[in-house]
Amino acid sequence: MPGKLILLGQYPPTVVLDPGQNLLEALLALDQRGVRHAVVVDSDGRLQGILSIRRILSFIERRLASGGVYEGLKQTRVADVMWHNPPRVVLGEFGIEDVIYILSRLNVGAITVVDKDERVLGIISEKHITGIMALAEIHVAVHEVMTKPAKSLSTGSKLREAIELMAIHRHRHIPIVGDGGRVAAMLTARDVLDYIALETTLDKLAEGLDEEVFNTPVTHVATGAPATVEPEADVSKALRLMRKRGISGLPVVNRDGELEGIITERDIVIKMPKLVGTELFYDYARSRLYVARVVF
């Protein structure tokens, strides 16, 4: 066994839920701990599923038409919304390439690490993968992996529209565009979750004031004057900027500040292996990063 075993990911997972907990409890846990994924386990710690912010927002989007979002969050169990039987890896001594292959092939943002008895040990997310990539020059331009055109909203849009866009298109990042097509703000799924988790927002939802909450202008929730990157920049520059700002996506703009596309951690993890192969990034770490044997 070469070298010291280095675990990539978070051990144990930051948020661990019971299948019987309600979605409101899950929402608050994800908000308080600042992560996008929660691992769901049974009483013996065995993997039952994964719950993401995106799944919670998709649930909220389905409730928008009928109202009663607060009661829906309280009455719905985690087990009713989580991803059942998600991909997982058994802790061992195989290469990180296996993890990247699963993330890329299945277009998922996280993989749970378990022992041979399915007890959860940790979680590996796309953020952990891109954290490694940011350490080296990649020599691939942002425009080669960015999503174009980017789904965007205007500065006059409401929160309801943003949630619907995120749910329907499975996006976590939405640029907010102002006059002349220039990026004025950036709205993320994390921003939306943080806003809903505010005590004042929850009080309004508990009173049945759904319309007031979800008609909030997106500019009141989004991050104004967001960090941006140019299409010709190296992907490593985008990754370093994401790490510095603690974000997972950047609007791509031209010299006039007009929106050209968007680049996210998901874009990089999914598209880079297909573009240049994982060997480019992991040769230097092959003797150190041994993560798991893939379980299908």
Q: Are residues 183 and 289 in the same domain?
A: no
Q: Are residues 129 and 20 in the same domain?
A: yes
Q: Are residues 153 and 258 in the same domain?
A: yes
The better pLDDT of the pair 170, 84 is held by: 84
pLDDT for the residue 133: 72
Quickly list H helices, the chain: 23-33, 53-63, 69-75, 97-106, 126-133, 142-145, 159-169, 189-197, 199-206, 210-214, 235-245, 265-276, 279-282
In-domain check, residue 270: no
Lowest-confidence pick of 32-36, 128-132, 140-144, 221-225? 128-132
AA letter at 191: D
Q: Are residues 254 and 182 in the same domain?
A: yes
Q: What's the domain count of the chain?
A: 2
In-domain check, residue 5: no
Q: Are residues 43 and 75 in the same domain?
A: yes
In-domain check, residue 11: no
Q: Are residues 76 and 147 in the same domain?
A: no
pLDDT for the residue 278: 53
Q: Are residues 98 and 163 in the same domain?
A: no
Tokens coding 256: 């006039």
Strand order in the sheet with 120-125: 120-125, 110-114, 88-95, 290-295
pLDDT for the residue 67: 86
Measured CA to CA, the distance from residue 261 to residue 85 in angstroms comes to: 33
Pairing of strands 110-114, 88-95: parallel
Cα 114 to chain centroid distance, Å, stands at 21
In-domain check, residue 244: yes
Interacting residues of 148 by C-beta distance below 8 A, sequence separation 6+: 252, 260, 261, 262
In-domain check, residue 6: no
In-domain check, residue 2: no
pLDDT for the residue 32: 97
Q: Are residues 258 and 170 in the same domain?
A: yes
Question: What would the pLDDT profile of 250-292 be if each residue is shown by its tens digit?
Answer: 999 999 889 999 999 999 888 887 776 555 545 434 433 444 4
Q: Are residues 167 and 126 in the same domain?
A: no
DSSP per-residue letters across 38-60: EEEE-TT-BEEEEEEHHHHHHHH
Give the domain range for residue 230. Answer: 142-264
Neighbours of 4 (CB within 10 A): 8
DSSP per-residue letters across 200-250: HHHHHHHTT-HHHHHTSBGGGTSEES---B-TTSBHHHHHHHHHHHT-SEE
Q: Are residues 153 and 229 in the same domain?
A: yes
Q: Are residues 227 and 150 in the same domain?
A: yes
- CATH code of residue 189: 3.10.580.10
Question: What would the pLDDT profile of 66-77 be if each residue is shown by its tens digit?
Answer: 889 999 999 999
Tokens coding 280: 């480019």
Q: Are residues 250 and 167 in the same domain?
A: yes
- What pTM, to 2 d.p., does this model score? 0.89
Question: What would the pLDDT profile of 178-208 be if each residue is shown by its tens digit?
Answer: 988 899 999 999 999 999 999 999 999 999 9
